[in-house]
Every structure is written in structure tokens, then in C-alpha cells.
Amino acid sequence: MACHETVTCPSCKTTFECRVGTILRCQCQDVPLTEDERQYVAERFSGCLCASCLQAMKSGYKQEKFKQRLHNIFNLFGKR
């Protein structure tokens, strides 16, 4: 029997249906995450996030990594 429950997104506080019993049909499957992105989300929130917030977290992770790479490049060229 499939286990579905209505949960509140800890980020935006909207409610959505979590389909942990049929995970392949859950809304979170619309946002594929790498292992690093999963870790990034887990460090900031516990529990399920809605697809919208997952997408925002994925974008935030990419922006943070991009800023880190730029910082490293500037430090590399600034130390001459």
C-alpha cells in the first residue's frame, strides 16, 4: 500500500503531497539532484522540500560553487 502524506515545506511553508511510498511519482523526482546538491540541501533543511524550493536550492548551490570558483581564480591571479 502506498504511503502518501501531506507535509509542509520547511523552506516556504506551503503544503504538498509527499509520496514516499511511491517515490518515483513524488513531486521531488521532478528535480534531479547530484549527491553534492543533496548534501547542500540536507545541511540546511531536514525533511522534504517542495519541488519549487528544491529547484531554488539547486540553483543556490550552483551559484555558490560558481562564486567559489571565481574567488579561487581571483586569488590565484592576485598572488603574483
> Taking a C-beta distance cutoff of 8 angstroms, is the pair 34, 28 a contact?
no
Give the integer Cα–Cα distance in Å for 44 and 32: 18
Q: Which residues form the domain of 46?
A: 5-78
String of DSSP letters for 32-63? ---HHHHHHHHHH--S---HHHHHHHHHHHHH
pLDDT digits (tens, 9 = 90+) for 69-80: 999 888 877 655
Q: Give the model's pLDDT for residue 41.
A: 95
CA torsion sign for 30, 35, 39, 40 is negative
- pLDDT of 1 over the 50 cut: no
> Taking a C-beta distance cutoff of 8 angstroms, is the pair 58, 31 a contact?
yes
* Count of the separate structural domains present in the chain: 1
pLDDT digits (tens, 9 = 90+) for 30-53: 999 999 999 999 999 998 899 999
In the block, cell 581571483 appears at 74
